[in-house]
Amino acid sequence: MKRNAKLGRQSQVEYFKLLIPILALVLLLIIIPLSSVVGLAFTNFSFVTMKENRFIGLANFVKMAADYRFWNSLRVAAVFGGATVSLQIVLGLGIALILVTKFRIARISRTLFLLPLTTPPIVASLMWKLFFTPTNPGMNYVLGLFGIKGPNWFDKPFSAMSAIVIANVWQWTPFCMLLFVAALESMPEDPFESAIVDGANLWQRFWKITFPLIWPTVTFVATFRAIESLKLFPLVYVMTGGGPGISTEPINYYAFSSAFEYNRIGYGSALVVVMMILVVLIVIVLKRRSYEV
């Protein structure tokens, strides 16, 4: 009995020793930077006025309540996230439904749909920047073929936001498609065979059988892409710079500007803390929705 207990303690010690490198890596790359950001959020830290840096409590967060630019950044993040996530789910699911068919051409074309996903974000941003520039033979040239006069995309808030949304949807719809294809191909065939025998049409089979079966995948995709939408940076930085004005400036870009352009490290850190809280709220809400169909 004592021998077994001793062996059990030794195995636990050995197990903990194996975890030490991973725990050290987590501490170094996650815990310490995260703690530093949270700590700076309660200060007025600035590299310009180093001698005046001090703890100011919740002053940065109180300042946000009256900061129009902060509320605008939340609105931009919400509009961008809502538009991109919904479009990516609809388009990704639609393409996935086509690709899981037994037609050979559909299976061969899967690789082509994955190409945007392999493009580095900064390269995709530059590509779409050039494509939407009116002086280049890009989007406006394509619209002109149909008799439509294209706008100066980056001069108006709506068109600038539309350009960013289109670029993001182009790049990340394949990710959603890939997950939906995996979910669709893992579904059992028995419910569909029974539905066909009962006379259910294509729409009824999709809405009553397919959609409930892939609902967990839908909520996972929505959660992941909603979180990723808050991290929008390369597209804004390259394509619009947050403009015109601040009409396409999301919260993370405002945090970057506050910290590194206006040298308000404390306030920028507070904005990052708010963004992290939003991420947690998104996960909680969508996780609850994952149990509902």
CB 232 within 8 A of CB 3: no
CB 155 within 8 A of CB 209: no
Whether residues 283 and 208 share a domain: the answer is yes
Q: How far apart are CA 153 and CA 164, in angstroms?
A: 10
Q: Which domain holds residue 12?
A: 2-40
Give the type of residue at 129: K
Q: How far is CA 284 from the centre of its chain?
A: 16
Whether residues 22 and 139 share a domain: the answer is no
Whether residues 87 and 204 share a domain: the answer is yes
Whether residues 163 and 36 share a domain: the answer is no
Whether residues 23 and 156 share a domain: the answer is no
Q: How far apart are CA 76 and CA 256, in angstroms?
A: 15
Residue 186 maps to a domain:
yes
CATH number for 86:
1.10.3720.10
**Closest by alpha carbon to 246, among 73, 15, 22?**
73
pTM of the predicted protein model: 0.85
Whether residues 140 and 194 share a domain: the answer is yes
Whether residues 76 and 187 share a domain: the answer is yes
Whether residues 31 and 78 share a domain: the answer is no
When divided into structural domains, the chain yields a total of: 2
Per-residue model confidence as pLDDT tens for the chain (293 residues): 555 555 456 666 676 777 777 777 777 777 888 888 889 899 988 877 777 788 888 999 999 999 999 999 999 999 999 999 999 999 999 989 888 876 666 666 667 778 888 888 899 999 999 999 888 888 888 888 888 888 889 989 999 999 999 999 999 999 999 999 989 988 888 888 888 888 888 888 888 888 999 998 999 899 889 888 888 888 999 999 998 989 999 999 999 999 888 889 999 999 999 998 988 888 888 777 655 55
**Closest by alpha carbon to 93, among 168, 181, 171, 192?**
181
Q: How far apart are CA 182 and CA 230, in angstroms?
A: 26
